[in-house]
Structure 1
Amino acid sequence: MKLLLNWILSACALLLVASVYSGLQVHSFGSALWAVVVISLLNLLVRPILVVLTLPVTLLTVGLFLFIINGLMFWAAANLLWGLSVSGFWAAVWAAFLYSLLGMVIDSALGRLFP
């Protein structure tokens, strides 16, 4: 129940980011749901490998390189899906940043709702 609610709210967050940031386009709510699933899978399977491989760069940049990794995950999802598109790599980084901020709010709210 919590996972499904998280995905639905995350899809709404993705639509919100697309409405306030012109570098991201989401074609429909269904596309947003699929994008959330793909982004979640990429963050689960690919992101940890990239974090380990780029650990020296991440340490040198005091963690700022993690924004680049998040942008890569977002950009990869946009390239894999039909209903999600970004206007470039840096647009993906900014969209991922905004989406992450909303994701933290969603996680906090769901954490209080489902302790």
Structure 2
Amino acid sequence: MKLKQWVLAALITATTLSVSYSCVADEASLKKAIEAAYPKFQVQSVVKTPYAGLYEVFMGGQIIYTDEKLTFLIAEGRLVDPKTKKDITGERLEELTKIDFNSLPLDQAIKVVKGNGSR
């Protein structure tokens, strides 16, 4: 009985790893194809969306969408979930471009002083 469970666990693990590896391979090859087609732009990331065949590409500070064969590009558009009415593009753009203010160099900040600066 334990042997069957072990074999089943091994098969599930192998299937999961092969599926996740194929997604990474597709994203990596799509990134290379985009960089070859548009050499002036640096592609920061390529992520498969939960929508059939649609990939999110973050490059040049903006999000564009394409399919796995690069047959089309949707730029300057917004992806909106019709059920929740959420702006998926806006949320992802905020996530990808957020800055940790604690990591900013305070000594290089522009300081505004009113009067002589005393309290």
TM-score range, shorter chain: under 0.3
Task: Report 1 or 2 for greater relative contact order, CA contacts < 8 Å, sequence distance ≥ 6.
Answer: 1
TM-score scaled by length of structure 2: 0.25
Tell me which protein shows more helix as a share of its residues. Answer: 1
Tell me which protein shows more strand as a share of its residues. Answer: 2
